[in-house]
Amino acid sequence: MVTKFNKDERKQWRKFRMGKKSFLTRAEFEMVSKLHAAKHKHSYYLPCTCNPKVIKQWIKDLNKIWDNGN
């Protein structure tokens, strides 16, 4: 079961979504990884940057939580 964002997570994700960049900073990469691990109940890890498919999917997953009323 996926959990909703808490107040601090909502603030982080709102700021992230407002960004217009086409790349992630290291801090954003870590934040996405931590949020996804917390919301989808898996161990925290940083996916390989050699293939962006995983992190892009994680961002989509987190956006679904946001879109469903976070």
- Position 26, amino acid: R
Please give the mean pLDDT across all residues of the chain: 93
Q: How many domains does the structure of the chain reveal?
A: 1
Can you give the pTM of this predicted structure? 0.91
pLDDT, mean of residues 45-64: 96
In Å, how far are 23, 29, 57, 65 from 26, measured between CA atoms? 10, 5, 17, 22
In a domain, 2, yes or no: no
In a domain, 13, yes or no: no
In a domain, 59, yes or no: yes
pLDDT at 21 (0 to 100): 86
pLDDT tens string 24-48: 999 999 999 999 999 999 999 999 9
Complete DSSP assignment for 8-65: HHHHHHHHHHH---SS--HHHHHHHHHHHHHHTT----PPPTT-THHHHHHHHHHHHH
Residue 70: pLDDT over 70: no
Residue 69: pLDDT over 70: yes
**Domain span holding position 55:** 25-70
